[in-house]
Structure 1
Amino acid sequence: MNVLRQIVIDTDAGWDDWLALLFLMKCPEIEILGVTVTGVGEAHLTPGMTNMQRLLVFGGQSANVYPGAQKPLLYSNVFPASFRATIDSFWGVSIPPPPGRTGTSTISTTSAVDFLYQTFAAAAARGKPVDMLCIGGFTNLATLLAERPLPEFQAGIGTIYAMAGAVGVPGNVYDPGDATWGYYDNTKAEWNVFVDAKAAEIALRAGLRIVLVPLDATNHVPVTTAYVNAYGSAAGSDVYAGFVYTLLQLQAGETNFFDPLAAAVLRTQSAKDLVTTAPFRLEVSTGFDEEDNTTGALTPTADPAFPEVVVCTSANATTFEGLFSSATLPRQG
């Protein structure tokens, strides 16, 4: 009997989170123990939980969904309301009936913090750490670290793979073409850190094993029209692949594979043919200055008070596309 690699997913239930989950549900060596949702990021909490639960059912999963934070630990930075509305509505796309076994996933009344604590504490007791994919900011994780004594569960935390930040490249909060997005003068921050910079600071200073997948890496894996077209040609009549293709079409040529890259880094455990990595000590800007807005900026430092984390500094698009396609497209022959 194969021993599955157990993981938990913490998400803000955005469009790229959907694709990351659809990818991981097709990785046979991975067992998803649960999905914690934050209402701090792209989706509001209730629709975000509903959308993730429906995806888990579609993917034949038994993992449940757990409600997390509804506000950041500091400030009130949020995605634009119009954007959040489209995410809440799942872009108006209907999730098709499950192509195989119908999942039994439900939305639990257990909080995200309680679920994470119980899961990591149990893993510590077994001596088998559980990895975490953190793709919606750090609010749920930081709340856990603030509310529960770390020694009680630290041994149960494997590696935390987080899509977050911009280290040596500009951030993505600033949009020169649309000042209505707000925060338009912040050129340093990436959204997952910007929405709760205090939470990011807590997580990055906790001394946990963290692999950061920032914009430095995700900038190298665009959702190209050529890839999406080739993907669609291979999808055929497969319901799962067809659904993934529908979502990909809506972003072709517009953006990058943010969270799916983090999921691929988790699956391959930072494979060298996928990403280039380097150790960094990172300071998170948690101040707020309307004339010089750098909230959420990550600054490398030599100060040993800041624990080292592994940062993915680049990524190979061809390798990523092969991983994503091989998992989500039907097998040939």
Structure 2
Amino acid sequence: MSPLIIDTDPGVDDAFALALACAAPGVDLIGVTTVFGNVGLATTTRNALRVLALCGRDDVPVAAGAERPLVHPHQHRARHVHGTDGLSGRSGTLPERATGVAGVDAVSLLVSLLESAPSPVTVVAIGPLTNIALLLAAHPAVHGKIARLVVMGGALAGGNVTAAAEFNIWSDPEAARRVLVEESVPVTLVPMDLTTRCAVDGPWLDSLAAAGPRGAALVSLTAAYREHYARSLGRDGMVIHDAVAVAEAVKPGLLHTTAMPVDVDCGFGPGRGGVIADRRPARQPDDRREVDVALSADLDQVRAFLLSHLAD
């Protein structure tokens, strides 16, 4: 079993991502940490607990992390996309978990899980990167226990919060730059350029809802999110960004990646939070760190993979 940790800010697509991590064969979900993002920290933490309860995973330790960015205030949440409670107003319909949060903060739990893991751990970061930046900065001794960091974030060709920036990176650009540019842990970046192309449609969601109680419960959380994406996409459907990143984590190679240097705009102009990728094929060699950026995939294969495991 491959050990996996998820750092998350649920969020509708985070709920699908957590459910996928619980259902995927060959994966041992050993911990979940929460961060501010789509809604405030108390709400993201409650949502994570309840989604895990839906999946029958009262055993997975959950710890709450950063409630604000490293440096500058967070300007707004994504309630207009995910609903006021992060789950289209439906979080209260999910079961309460028998076990609550761990008695430690997120970074402490991450350190403990990494140090005690018998083999290197894949860490999937599907919210703002504040917890991960704090972990890597304060605990360099655990770097070698991270097999790979899979990050859902960034936009190479236009964002969803601003013309330049995707929500997760924009929420804490300084943390994102620390993780993507300044550290040496292997990173696979899954940007919204690809996750948006993996959007699922109404029939896909209907198939998931018809598959069983868990699938029906997940689809029941999507009303506000689905309405937002119906306007954005111009059709019935939605983008489950974070589940695509988890799919790559549990099935390496599902997404096709290209190694390239990236940077994060931490200025205060219109580009703040934007990910700048150096995609020049003939660039001169230099000492910049490269990350693996997921640029393409067999989209039907990705959707089929998600449905087959979420419907189990």
Shared fold, TM over 0.5 = yes
Instruction: State how far apart, in whole Å, the 1-side matches of 2:78 and 2:245 are.
Output: 26
1:58-137 correspondence to structure 2 within 5 Å:
58-61=54-57, 62-80=59-77, 82-83=79-80, 86-88=83-85, 90-93=87-90, 94-97=92-95, 104-123=98-117, 126=118, 128-137=119-128
Aligned match for 1:267, one of 250, 261, 278: 250
**For residue 178 of structure 2, what is the aligned residue in structure 1?**
202
Q: How far off is 1:143 after superposition?
A: 0.9
Matched, 1:159 2:148: yes
Q: Is the 8 A contact 1:284 1:296 kept in 2?
A: yes
| TM-score where L is the length of structure 2 | 0.87
- Shift of the 298–315 alpha-carbon distance from structure 1 to 2, 3 Å rule, reads same
Q: How far off is 1:254 after superposition?
A: 5.1
Q: Percent identity?
A: 27
Q: How far off is 1:65 after superposition?
A: 1.1
Aligned match for 2:41, one of 14, 22, 45: 45
**For residue 229 of structure 2, what is the aligned residue in structure 1?**
none
Q: How far off is 1:91 after superposition?
A: 2.0
Matched, 1:17 2:14: yes
Equivalent residue letter for 2:166: E
Aligned match for 1:139, one of 125, 130, 138: 130
- Shift of the 70–214 alpha-carbon distance from structure 1 to 2, 3 Å rule, reads same
Corresponding residue pairs, total: 295
**For residue 230 of structure 2, what is the aligned residue in structure 1?**
none
**For residue 298 of structure 1, what is the aligned residue in structure 2?**
275
Deviates more, 1:111-120 or 1:220-229: 220-229
**For residue 284 of structure 1, what is the aligned residue in structure 2?**
264
Measured on the aligned residues, the alpha-carbon RMSD in Å equals 2.1
Deviates more, 1:78-87 or 1:188-197: 78-87
**For residue 311 of structure 2, what is the aligned residue in structure 1?**
329
SS of residue matched to 1:88: coil
Instruction: State how far apart, in whole Å, the 2-side matches of 1:89 and 1:219 are.
Output: 20
Instruction: State how far apart, in whole Å, the 1-side matches of 2:215 and 2:237 are.
Output: 20
Deviates more, 1:312-321 or 1:5-14: 312-321
Deviates more, 1:42-51 or 1:134-143: 42-51
Higher RCO (CA < 8 A, seq sep 6+) = 2
**For residue 160 of structure 2, what is the aligned residue in structure 1?**
172
Instruction: State how far apart, in whole Å, the 2-side matches of 1:199 and 1:313 are.
Output: 23
**Structure 1 unaligned residues grouped into runs of 5+:** 175-186
- Shift of the 96–138 alpha-carbon distance from structure 1 to 2, 3 Å rule, reads closer
Q: How far off is 1:230 after superposition?
A: 3.5
Structure 1 residues 88-124: Cα deviation after superposition (integer angstroms, max 9, x where no partner): 26322243559xxxx654211201111111222233x
Instruction: State how far apart, in whole Å, the 2-side matches of 1:112 and 1:254 are.
Output: 33
Structure 1 residues 211-255: Cα deviation after superposition (integer angstroms, max 9, x where no partner): 1100121121113123223433x42xx211211232345544353
Q: How far off is 1:22 after superposition?
A: 1.1
Q: Is the 8 A contact 2:208 2:310 kept in 1?
A: no
Kindly report structure 1 stretches of 4+ aligned residues shifted beyond 6 Å.
none
Aligned match for 2:51, one of 49, 55, 62: 55
Q: How far off is 1:137 after superposition?
A: 1.7
Q: Is the 8 A contact 1:162 1:210 kept in 2?
A: yes
Q: How far off is 1:64 after superposition?
A: 1.6
Instruction: State how far apart, in whole Å, the 2-side matches of 1:111 and 1:279 are.
Output: 33
Structure 1 residues 281-323: Cα deviation after superposition (integer angstroms, max 9, x where no partner): 001111112xxx1111111246744311100002332112211
Instruction: State how far apart, in whole Å, the 1-side matches of 2:3 and 2:33 are.
Output: 15
